[in-house]
Amino acid sequence: MVQDDEGGTRAAANATTVDADTEATAVVGGDGEGAVPFELPAAGYQLGSLIGKGGMGEVVAAHDQRIGREVAFKRMRKANAGGDALARFLREARIQARLDHPAIVPVYDLGKDEEGRPYFTMKRLAGKTLAEYLAERDVPRQRLLRAFVDVCLAVELAHQRGVVHRDLKPSNIMLGDFGEVYVLDWGVARVIARKRRQTGGMIADMVADDIDSIGGDATVDGALLGTPGYMAPEQVRGELDVGTPADVYALGSILFEILAGESLHPRGHAALASTLTMMGEEPAKRRPERGIAPELDAACASALQADPKVRPTARALGDRVQQYLDGDRDMERRRVLAREHLANARDALDSGDADRRADAMREAGRALALDPESTEAADLVSALVIEPPKQMPAELVGELAKVEADRARVRGRRAFSGYMTLLLLSAFLPFLHIEHWVPLALVYVCVAALMGVSWMTYRTGKIIPVAVLVGALVTAIAFSRLASPFVLVPVLMCGALLPITNIPWLNDRPWVVYLWTLLVAIVPLALEWTGVLPGTTGLLDGNFTLRSAIFGRAGTIDMAALVAANALFLLSVARFSLAIGRDRRDVLRQVTVQAWHLGKLLPTSPRK
């Protein structure tokens, strides 16, 4: 009987009787006086949890009570299964047992339980299927390619022994937790006629004729053997003589999925029509952004050829992948592909379409990656990186807008701190002779308004040029009341011009800046000459006189305040000028350093 994990007797559905000696006696110690007889443990399996099940069979975790190892226990789900199902089950066990390869799960035992259901035991695996790894999308490609090479060798062994798997797919490939790779589910395998083949000086026997192959094309009427999306065209067409190239096509489909990150064909029955129309697909063309090596691309395409006769063997396919992993490169093919990418880059650049500049950069970069010694590709990459385009692509315009917004925030913060320094002049107010408070209040209102505009720019990264120009002009008129339009105002407006000329919209329209500058110089005087504002300038006995529209009689403290204000304005202008100069120097240094590094990175050998 088979006991469950808790030690009790499992129900009849889980019970099994092994056709082996339940008792065996041996002698330890030879023929001498010290010989000790002992009994072998009873044969049988202690069943555990269900691992998986299909339409006809199920796999249960089990413990071999005689040997003491953990196994996978596969059995038919029904004792009275049909002859075809029973034959398929037994053939799977016998084929798998005779394909002795590290990537094919070894079979330990074959028998039937108390209910007459056949079973066989095999090595219990721990790991995940290739399909699960592909779904994760972050598994290193190199690891999957190494596993793929092992699968190719296992399939090649089966082919040498006269067995065609016919259902290779990612879910039938297991990657163990310790680096093992296994090809699973040999239930629909086809056995080719028995032969003897000379291989490397050794005789390799084909699978014996006592394992019958499934006749016809289907397990049941109207059902194709295999999985749509991985079946070869000849399988889809229902050809009777499906040979080893069908497995190679399936391997090509699996390799395509590893390289491209998506399946070759759509899922389900739509894959059948796609298989008959899509031939020799190259994963690099489907997913150019994944940087698929041309050696792997070509190997995959060769396995997906429509004509079975031109497909490579499973070993040849695996060898090509292994050669890539070992570092071998097909340099001539890489140069040919590089020239193609270079031609595509020039076509994109010559099209005049600004949005295709990104395509030109990608194509030129791929050309340089394929042929690092190509100075033509290097020259084009350098030109694309260093020389700005005459017309900006839409994507680049968006990126530049983000950069300008960041710079606007910096300018807004600096302007806000600059206007804050003007408030330091308030320390002189208690000591000054103020006659007209309204114009003085207007000065502070203008400063506060400009501080508000600067704060909004700092917070949002957006500049309203009209608000900046109007605010600065009104501020100039207000400050002209302090000591005429000829004192303080020119220095203040020079300081305002520094950030104003860095606003992109105004920088692109210099006439607006020139016009605004003339208005700042003329409007305060015009308002005085027309009598709108009290006059602050005049000529008397050959002397040019200036007066304040705010302060009364001038004293020592008044002159000190005027000198302090003038010095403060000049220091603010110097501060802004230094900041702008540093920004320009940093950008120039960054571009120069990048160009220098790019020049050292790219080849300088004579043009080929």
Annotated active-site positions, please?
167
CA distance 540 to 543: 5
CA distance 269 to 251: 20
Which residues are 64's β-sheet partners?
A: 45
CA distance 481 to 365: 62
> What does the DSSP assignment read for 257-300?
HHHHSS-SS-STTHHHHHHHH--S--HHHH-GGG---HHHHHHH
CA distance 445 to 551: 18
Specify whether the CB–CB gap between 207 and 230 falls below 8 A. no
Q: For 89-117, what is the HEC assignment?
A: HHHHHHHHHHCCCCCECCEEEEEECCCCC
71 CB-near residues (< 8 Å, 6+ apart): 45, 62, 63, 64, 108, 109, 121, 122, 123, 124
**b/e map of 54-93 (b: 16 or more CB within 10 Å)?**
eebbbbbbbbbbbeeeebbbbbbeeeebeeebbebbbbbb
Specify whether the CB–CB gap between 606 and 375 falls below 8 A. yes
**Which amino acid makes up residue 435?**
E
Per 3-state DSSP, the chain is made up of helix, strand and coil in percentages (nearest 5) of: 55, 15, 35
Q: Write out the H or E segment, with its range, that includes residue 585.
A: helix 556-601
CA distance 112 to 181: 29
Pairing mode of beta strands 190-191, 196-199: unpaired
423 token code pair: 């408030």
Pairing mode of beta strands 537-540, 181-183: unpaired
